[in-house]
């Protein structure tokens, strides 16, 4: 029995160092690596259950061919030779009859790392394809911050101990970023004030000094109101603004309209609470504003992100210890894939958030086939009822996965893939700047293969040039490291992660901003040029807001957020982490509908209907209901209720723009 060092490659801020206990080729236990310079032995419940993914009885062990109707979950095992032949015949026929763009290559973010790029050797030689653009996750906030600041980076999390005030805005790190929560708790214990802004009393807000509970989608108005109060009271850092802000005077005119009375009317937050928050910001200019992705999952999400992000520069709270805007950390260069064919011209992109609708339209050419890997769109995408219907009409679907997910059940061919403990990779975090080796610790079980091997088999069948199809081995990792800007070897990475030389403990300490103006852009022309939105962070009521006609019929805002037990839909099938989907509802809303705790209720709107048990709780604001998303529930998943629509900036999916009615069954 021996412990091995590796890293969690999931789509998560943590990128936690892990120690993996292995005996006779079997993973027995996973725990946090105490020697990791950032995570220091703290790993979440999901990371600690990684062995229950690797050893899961539900893992697919051989290629499968559909023998029933789509979605019936009727498959039979076939050989790899048969699977590759079937894929070749069907993809070739679709490409030859309709063109390469009639095949959609859908790659999700189930794992991160350079090994994901092994697909280029096949798909670039295929002659083209349709891919996705935008995001299901953070597209609006990422684009908005890049446009405003020129970069996304934040202070080292350990610097939170130097913050006199910490504001959690639409973020729940107790569930989504335990290392950050650990530093927040230390700071609070050291005397820092904690403010949370969220429509729910969430797991991170229980020890807050102040909790503001905005009506969903109105955070932008709150941010503009805070800006107005800071300016009116002469509490801004004029020297900082004069040197490092572009378009401040235009912004100043914009926020004049956002009096406390108006902000109260829009957000439904008591004026006294807003005044208290402004007072805390005035008193503690050394504050950390931590933005979560929840604030940008509305149709106004990009401008909301800009409005919130512009509060710290008003008080000069950027580029200093203890003073920072936290979103995600884009510091450090990644890696380049060693060799790729020439990228074909026939690559079409469609917004991922509109997939359900686009699949059913007569695009030119229409999508006839799909290849899906590292993704479970029939759980994770919006409007899943329509997506299921339109996928059912496709000519051919391939899914690469470890498990028979909701999406796998819709495939014609399912290919069993390797888990992250079964292949080599290099992992760059977006929560901190360190770079890690993901070592191959065990061999894939059964007939499972890493995607690099799958693409090699498929390329050979298509007659493609195999020089672009690289083996997943130590030599690949050594080659990538050798060609990178990082002065580190695979042997050194086995001992500890690597901190790139250009990483910054204090973000923007040099006060240089990679924007058109070279300053923080309160007024941003590129927002108008690229997205057709106002150069100023104007507040626009989200679609299906309180004054829309549809709210009369469906009066409850429907919020879906991350569970601590899942990363999107991953881990939903792990017995140790399974949890029932529950609808949380405010006592008054429940009373109005004669609902009691534990009652089965119907949640519905014009998009769809699902059935869940109700939990009555004061932790949620009146007029809102809530469910943790990501359970594999086939046609009873939360995304059956959510329309496929996009944000104003960044083509993010506006998941939180959803209203429903709830009835007792």
CATH number at residue 468: 3.40.50.740
Residue 283 vs residues 233, 235, 276, 280, 359: alpha-carbon distances, Å = 12, 10, 10, 5, 53
Q: Is the peptide bond before 384 cis (omega within 30 degrees of 0)?
A: no
Segment (H or E) for 80 = helix 80-98
Beta bridge mates, 348: 130
**Number of structural domains, the chain?**
4
341 assigned to some structural domain = no
Res 459: pLDDT: 98
Beta bridge mates, 246: 521
> Which residues constitute the domain of residue 572?
550-664
What the block records as the tokens of 245 is: 């802000």
Same-domain status, 43 and 94: no
Same-domain status, 355 and 284: no
Same-domain status, 275 and 180: yes
**Regions of the chain short of the pLDDT cut 70:** 332
508 assigned to some structural domain = no
Same-domain status, 176 and 250: yes
Res 546: pLDDT: 86
Alpha helices for 104-172 (secondary structure H): 120-126, 139-149
Res 593: pLDDT: 99
336 assigned to some structural domain = no
Please write down the HEC assignment for all residues of 118-181. HHHHHHHHHCCEEEEECECCCHHHHHHHHHHHCCCCCCCHHHHHHCCEEEEECCCHHHHCHHHH
Task: Name the one residue in this structure whose structure tokens are 């009066």.
Answer: 555
Res 330: pLDDT: 73
Helix %, strand %, coil % of the chain (to 5): 35, 20, 45
Q: Is the peptide bond before 365 cis (omega within 30 degrees of 0)?
A: yes
Count how many Cα atoms sit within 13 Å of the Cα of residue 529 in the half-sphere of its side chain: 6
Q: Shortest CA distance to 304 belongs to which of 419, 108, 143?
A: 143
CB 216 within 8 A of CB 298: yes
Res 329: pLDDT: 80
Count how many Cα atoms sit within 13 Å of the Cα of residue 600 in the half-sphere of its side chain: 3
Q: Quick one: CA dihedral 520, 523, 525, 530, positive or negative?
A: positive
89 assigned to some structural domain = yes
**Burial group, residue 580, by CB count within 10 angstroms (0-12, 13-18, 19+):** exposed
CATH no. for residue 24?
3.30.200.210
The Cα 123–Cα 120 span in angstroms is: 5
Res 362: pLDDT: 76
What the block records as the tokens of 175 is: 């569930």
Alpha helices for 496-646 (secondary structure H): 525-531, 550-553, 587-592
282 assigned to some structural domain = yes
The terminus-to-terminus CA distance of the chain in angstroms comes to: 54
Same-domain status, 558 and 421: no
Decide the pairing of beta strands 659-664 and 609-616.
unpaired
Same-domain status, 6 and 48: yes
Res 579: pLDDT: 95
Res 334: pLDDT: 84
511 assigned to some structural domain = no
What the block records as the tokens of 602 is: 């119907």
CATH no. for residue 566?
2.40.40.20
Same-domain status, 85 and 113: yes
Q: Shortest CA distance to 604 belongs to which of 634, 636, 647, 562?
A: 636
Domain end point (choices 36, 54, 72): 54
The Cα 84–Cα 82 span in angstroms is: 6
Same-domain status, 156 and 278: yes
Same-domain status, 490 and 357: yes
Same-domain status, 364 and 384: yes
- Is the backbone of residue 261 left (phi > 0), alpha (psi -120 to 50) or beta? alpha
487 assigned to some structural domain = yes
Same-domain status, 307 and 361: no
Same-domain status, 107 and 158: no
> CA gyration radius for the chain?
25
537 assigned to some structural domain = no
CATH no. for residue 302?
3.40.228.10
Would the pTM of this model clear 0.85, i.e. be above it?
Answer: yes
Q: What digits encode the pLDDT tens for the residues 9-34?
A: 999 999 999 999 999 999 999 999 99
Res 333: pLDDT: 75
């Amino acid at each position: 029995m021996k412990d091995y060092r590796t890293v969690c490659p999931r789509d998560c801020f943590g990128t936690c160092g892990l120690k993996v206990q292995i005996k006779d080729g079997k993973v027995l236990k996973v725990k946090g690596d105490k020697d990791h310079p950032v995570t220091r032995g703290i790993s979440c419940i999901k990371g600690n259950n990684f062995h229950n993914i690797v050893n899961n009885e539900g893992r697919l062990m051989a290629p499968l061919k559909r023998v029933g109707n789509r979605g019936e979950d009727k498959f039979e095992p076939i050989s790899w030779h048969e699977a590759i032949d079937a894929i070749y015949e069907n993809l070739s026929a679709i490409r030859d009859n309709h063109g390469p763009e009639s095949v959609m290559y859908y790659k999700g973010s189930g794992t991160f790392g350079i090994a994901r790029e092994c697909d280029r050797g096949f798909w670039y030689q295929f002659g083209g394809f349709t891919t996705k653009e935008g995001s299901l996750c953070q597209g609006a906030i990422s684009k908005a911050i890049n446009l405003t600041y020129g970069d996304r980076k934040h202070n080292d999390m350990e610097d939170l101990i130097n913050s006199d005030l910490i504001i959690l805005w639409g973020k729940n790190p107790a569930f989504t970023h335990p290392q950050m929560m650990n530093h927040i708790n230390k700071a609070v214990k050291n005397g820092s004030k904690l403010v949370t802004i969220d429509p729910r009393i969430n797991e991170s807000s229980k020890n807050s000094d102040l909790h503001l509970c905005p009506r969903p989608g109105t955070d932008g108005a709150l941010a503009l109101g805070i800006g107005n109060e800071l300016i009116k009271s002469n509490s801004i850092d004029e020297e900082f603004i004069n040197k490092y802000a572009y378009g401040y005077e235009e912004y100043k005119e914009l926020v004049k309209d956002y009096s406390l009375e108006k902000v109260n009317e829009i957000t439904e937050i008591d004026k006294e609470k807003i005044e208290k928050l402004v007072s805390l910001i005035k008193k503690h200019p050394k504050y950390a504003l931590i933005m979560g992705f929840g604030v940008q999952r509305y149709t106004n999400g990009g401008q909301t992100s800009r409005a919130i992000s512009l509060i710290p520069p008003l008080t000069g709270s950027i580029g200093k210890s203890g003073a920072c805007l936290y979103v995600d950390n884009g510091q450090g260069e990644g890696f380049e894939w060693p060799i790729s064919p020439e990228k074909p011209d026939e690559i079409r992109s469609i917004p991922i958030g509109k997939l359900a609708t686009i699949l059913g339209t007569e695009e030119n050419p229409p999508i006839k086939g799909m290849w899906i890997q590292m993704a479970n769109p029939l759980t994770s995408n919006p409007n899943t009822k329509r997506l299921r219907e339109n996928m059912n009409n496709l000519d051919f679907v391939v899914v690469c996965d470890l498990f028979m997910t909701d999406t796998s059940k819709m495939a014609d061919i399912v290919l069993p893939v390797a888990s992250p403990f079964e292949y080599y990779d290099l992992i760059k975090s977006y929560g901190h700047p360190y770079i890690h080796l993901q070592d191959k610790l065990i061999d894939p079980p059964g007939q499972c293969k890493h995607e690099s091997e799958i693409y090699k088999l498929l390329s050979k069948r298509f007659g493609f040039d195999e020089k672009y199809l690289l083996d997943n081995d130590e030599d690949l990792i050594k080659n990538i490291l050798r060609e990178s800007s990082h002065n580190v070897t695979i042997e050194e990475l086995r001992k500890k992660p690597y901190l790139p030389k250009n990483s910054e403990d204090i973000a923007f300490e040099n006060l240089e901003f990679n924007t058109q103006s070279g300053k923080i852009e309160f007024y941003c022309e590129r927002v108008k040029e690229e997205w057709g939105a106002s150069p100023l962070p104007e507040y626009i009521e989200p679609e299906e807001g309180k004054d829309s006609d549809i709210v009369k019929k469906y009066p409850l805002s429907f919020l879906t957020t991350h569970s601590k037990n899942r990363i999107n839909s991953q881990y939903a099938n792990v017995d140790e982490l399974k949890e029932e989907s529950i609808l949380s509802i405010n006592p008054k809303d429940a009373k109005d509908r004669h609902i009691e705790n534990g009652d089965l209720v119907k949640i519905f709107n014009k998009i769809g209907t699902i059935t869940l048990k109700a939990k009555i709780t004061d932790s949620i604001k009146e007029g809102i209901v809530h469910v943790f998303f990501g359970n594999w529930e086939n046609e009873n998943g939360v995304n059956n209720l959510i329309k496929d629509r996009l944000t104003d900036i960044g083509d993010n999916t506006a998941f939180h723009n959803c209203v429903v009615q709830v009835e007792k069954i």
